[in-house]
Amino acid sequence: MLSSGPLSPKGRALGHVNGHRPFIHRKIASVTASPAPLSGDSHRFCVAPMMDYTDRHCRFLMRLLSRRTRLYTEMVTAAAIVRGSDPARFLAFHPSEQPLALQLGGSDPVQLAKAARMAEDWGYDEINLNVGCPSDRVTSGRFGACLMAEPDLVAACVAAMREAVTIPVTVKTRIGIDDMDSDAHLDAFIATVAATGCDTFIIHARKAWLQGLSPKQNREIPPLNYGRVHQLKRSFPRLKLILNGGLKTPQGALASLRDEDGTRLDGVMLGRAPYDTPYMLAEIDRLFFADTAPMPERAAVTEAYVAYALENVKGHTRMHNVLRHIINLFHGCANARTWRQTVARIGQEASDPRPLVALARQLEEKRVLAA
Ligand SMILES: Cc1cc2nc3c(=O)[nH]c(=O)nc-3n(C[C@H](O)[C@H](O)[C@H](O)COP(=O)(O)O)c2cc1C
């Protein structure tokens, strides 16, 4: 353990820890947030839309870690985009975030089509319709998971959006809701929506209980059923099916693509795991896309993210809002706590984030020395 944290009270980085020998700084390859060119298999690994988490700062960080992962915005209602006075608030993004999907919530085909068109104009690569959120607020607005009970309406929404844009329109859904969780119901739902020409479905492999469970419980209590998603792939081999729910590691996610009988899903979507352990994304390009580029190092990622923070903290964007996403970067490493505390303090004080770069180097090199 570092005795009093690796930063001096003035925030200067210390060159040594507890009087032990100084670190020898290796040269660290710099990292830029540059997406790889779009390819047909870019749904192979996706990071899930997560309200209050996958904002544009979070997505910039994720892009520093993986050039190929497909990123999703938090859900934005079509009404907020179409009726609001400031669409940039919902639609603006950094070009490096691409491939990037905008997730829309809504059930009015006309409004969804307008919002989708605006999103295409802003440069999004995909529109995703939320048919999986179980929250009361969303259900009372007649969107999210409750729409599984209205396949014809979902089909009308998807058809209207497909008519309005040239980019792909996809659907994120569950394997059922309440007592409407039979194989026949899910198959009929997918068939009805796919008949519009929509060919990509992200399936959260558990049902949602719309009465009595909170959104958090609905991500934990109904059991996962990956077999049901593989079964769907056997029934609809031409559709692109992306598996979501409870996947924790890149290796486990890769293994879950293939079923015992050889059925192969087209991709995976992970949410909580990459947020809690962002450095797992550094493995994704190699593992899922056979990319041979070296993995970015945490210190280089920190350097690029700190530069981004310095550029982007202005107006309503506070340092804390940007830095909060990097707090788990050293998850599982020695001295992760020191990192978390330092990031939290700099975020709260809104002080200069540049000492984080020196700290990241120290932590990384300690890791290398200990290896
Ligand atoms: C904090 C939080 C916010 C979420 N917000 C959304 C959302 O806006 N839209 C959506 O489709 N799903 C949302 N989800 C669900 C995730 O996209 C994903 O389906 C779910 O977490 C299961 O995947 P995981 O086990 O890999 O996290 C959210 C999940 C969490 C934890």
Domain that holds residue 163: 41-277
Residue scoring higher pLDDT (35 or 54): 54
CB 58 near ligand 1, within 6 Å: no
Reply yes or no on whether 198 is catalytic: no
Residue 202 sits in a domain whose CATH number is: 3.20.20.70
What pLDDT score was predicted for residue 40?
Answer: 62
What pLDDT score was predicted for residue 20?
Answer: 37
Query: Whose C-alpha lies nearest to ligand 1, atom 10?
Result: 49
Mean pLDDT for the stretch of residues 41-51: 94
- Ligand 1, residue 275: give the atom nearest the CA: 27
Mean pLDDT for the stretch of residues 323-346: 96
CB 270 near ligand 1, within 6 Å: yes
Q: pLDDT at residue 72 above 50?
A: yes
Which of 247, 277, 307 lies at the terminal end of a domain, its last residue?
Answer: 277
**Does residue 271 share a domain with residue 309?**
no
- Ligand 1, residue 132: give the atom nearest the CA: 11
Q: How far is the CA of 244 from the centre of ligand 1 (A)?
A: 9
CB 247 near ligand 1, within 6 Å: yes
Q: Is residue 33 part of a domain?
A: no
**Does residue 313 share a domain with residue 241?**
no
Residue scoring higher pLDDT (92 or 35): 92
Query: Whose C-alpha lies nearest to ligand 1, atom 13?
Result: 50
Which of 224, 248, 277 lies at the terminal end of a domain, its last residue?
Answer: 277
Q: Is residue 31 part of a domain?
A: no
Q: Is residue 221 part of a domain?
A: yes
What pLDDT score was predicted for residue 64?
Answer: 98
CB 361 near ligand 1, within 6 Å: no
Which of 277, 312, 329 lies at the terminal end of a domain, its last residue?
Answer: 277
Q: Is residue 16 part of a domain?
A: no
Residue scoring higher pLDDT (41 or 76): 76
CB 248 near ligand 1, within 6 Å: no
What pLDDT score was predicted for residue 3?
Answer: 30
Q: Which of 46, 58, 133, 198 is catalytic?
A: 133
CB 48 near ligand 1, within 6 Å: yes
Q: pLDDT at residue 18 above 70?
A: no
Residue scoring higher pLDDT (261 or 190): 190
CB 128 near ligand 1, within 6 Å: no
Mean pLDDT for the stretch of residues 13-23: 34
Q: How far is the CA of 281 from the centre of ligand 1 (A)?
A: 17
CB 129 near ligand 1, within 6 Å: no
Give the pLDDT band (50/70/90) at residue 38.
Answer: low
**Does residue 162 share a domain with residue 46?**
yes
Share of the chain above pLDDT 70, in %: 89
Mean pLDDT for the stretch of residues 6-16: 30
* Mutate-to-test residue for ligand 1 from 45, 46, 47, 51, highest number of ligand atoms within 8 A of CB: 51
Label each residue of the chain as H, E or C: CCCCCCECCCCCECCCCCCCCCCCCCCCCCCCCCCCCCCCCCCCEEECCCCCCCCHHHHHHHHHHCCCCEEEEEEEEHHHHHHCCCHHHHHCCCHHHCCEEEEEECCCHHHHHHHHHHHHHHCCCEEEEEECCCCHHHHHCCCHHHHHHCHHHHHHHHHHHHHHCCCCEEEEEECCECCECCHHHHHHHHHHHHCCCCCEEEEECCCECCCCCCCCHHHCCCCCCHHHHHHHHHHCCCCEEEEECCCCCHHHHHHHCECCCCCECCEEEECHHHHHCHHHHHHHHHHHHCCCCCCCCHHHHHHHHHHHHHHHCCCCCCHHHHHHHHCCCCCCCCCHHHHHHHHHHHHHHCCCCCHHHHHHHHHHHHHHHHC
**Does residue 235 share a domain with residue 195?**
yes
Q: How far is the CA of 50 from the centre of ligand 1 (A)?
A: 5
Q: pLDDT at residue 139 above 50?
A: yes
Residue 321 sits in a domain whose CATH number is: 1.20.120
- Ligand 1, residue 247: give the atom nearest the CA: 26
Q: pLDDT at residue 223 above 50?
A: yes
Q: Is residue 341 part of a domain?
A: yes
Query: Whose C-alpha lies nearest to ligand 1, atom 3?
Result: 50
Task: Indicate the number of domains in the chain.
Answer: 2
How does pLDDT run across 157-189, given as a tens digit for each residue?
Answer: 999 999 999 999 999 999 999 999 999 999 999
**Does residue 263 share a domain with residue 322?**
no
Q: Is residue 203 part of a domain?
A: yes
How does pLDDT run across 252-311, given as a tens digit for each residue?
Answer: 999 999 998 889 999 999 999 999 999 999 999 999 999 999 999 999 999 999 999 999
CB 208 near ligand 1, within 6 Å: no
Q: Is residue 26 part of a domain?
A: no
Q: Is residue 50 part of a domain?
A: yes
Q: pLDDT at residue 118 above 50?
A: yes
